[in-house]
Every structure is written in C-alpha cells, then in structure tokens.
Amino acid sequence: MKLTTKGRYAVMALADLANFNKANPVPLRDISFRQGISLFYLEQIFLKLKKHNIVRSIRGSGGGYILFKNADELKLSEIFFAVDEKVKTINCNKDSKKGCNGKLSKCITHNLWDELDLHINSFFENKKLSELTKTQNKKL
C-alpha cells in the first residue's frame, strides 16, 4: 500500500505553487528546480490538474500556472482525483453483486476493505492544501 509519485508530486508541486502564487504565474521550470522533480513529468501532471480545474495556465513568455481556488478551499481528495491517484482496497466491482475471484456473493473481507477505504479517503477529504503551506510559513 503505497502512494504513487504522481499523487505525491502533484501535492508537492501545488504546495510549492501556493507558496509562490502571490501575484504572478509560476512556471514549471521553477517548481521543477525547487522540488527536484523532472520538468517533463511535471508537465504531464499539470496537464491533468488543468483539465480538472485545479490550476489555470497562462501561456507564453512570463506565463506559468496559478491555483484555480484558494489553497484553503482545495482538498487533497480533489488533487488525487485529478491525477488518478485512487484508493483501491477492494478487489471486486463495488456496484456489482458479485464478489472477487468470480464468486457469487461478496467475500468475507469485503466490508473490511470498504471500511478501510472510507477511513483513508476521509483523510484526503478533510485535508486542505493550505494546511501544508501554513507549516511551511511557520518556519520562516
């Protein structure tokens, strides 16, 4: 059970963005440099973030990205959803009546994983991007 780099980097990059977003758009090159993430990889990630209205882009010289919402309104769950980082603890098709491994009914552990799923997702649901930048600012 681990996080993919896509989810991790998305949050990392957005936290960076939130910190430098005061007025001007932030180019990916800066984020890449500051966070040590490949520029090409960031491009891929930000394309998704843009499609899901997490960020807004400004093209051309002097361009870059800015947050679409305020950092204190942006939930981690939204970010994860945008980059396809999803929690998947159950094995079966949740909507179907059938269980995993082709069984006719749900398996013994189905409810457990369902509960776990809920437990984990509630973390992402309750966490805002701004909670990251605040601890960052405290240090300054």
Partner DNA sequence: TATATACCCGAGTAAAATAGTCAAGATTAA
Partner DNA sequence: TTAATCTTGACTATTTTACTCGGGTATATA
Which residues contact ligand FES by CB under 6 A? Answer: 90-92, 99-100, 106-107, 109-110, 113
Residue 42, Cβ neighbours under 10 Å: how many? 21
Burial (CB count <10 Å: 0-12, 13-18, 19+), residue 116? middle
- Min dist CB 88 to a copy of itself, Å, is 4
Residue placing its CB nearer to DNA in the complex, 81 or 131? 81
1-40 binders of a copy of itself (CB under 8 A): 1-5, 7-8, 11-12, 15-16, 19, 35-37
DSSP secondary structure code for residue 54 in this structure? S
Q: List residues near DNA by CB under 7 A.
A: 2, 4-6, 9, 25-29, 38, 40-41, 43-44, 46-47, 50, 57-65
Nearest to 48 by CA among 13, 23, 15, 16: 13
Instruction: Report how far residue 131's alpha carbon sits from residue 73's, in angstroms, rounded to the nearest whole number.
Output: 10
d(CA 140, CA 135): 9
Binding site for a copy of itself (CB under 8 A): 1-5, 7-8, 11-12, 15-16, 19, 35-37, 85-89, 91, 100-103, 107-109, 111-113, 115-116, 119-120, 123, 127, 131-133, 135-136
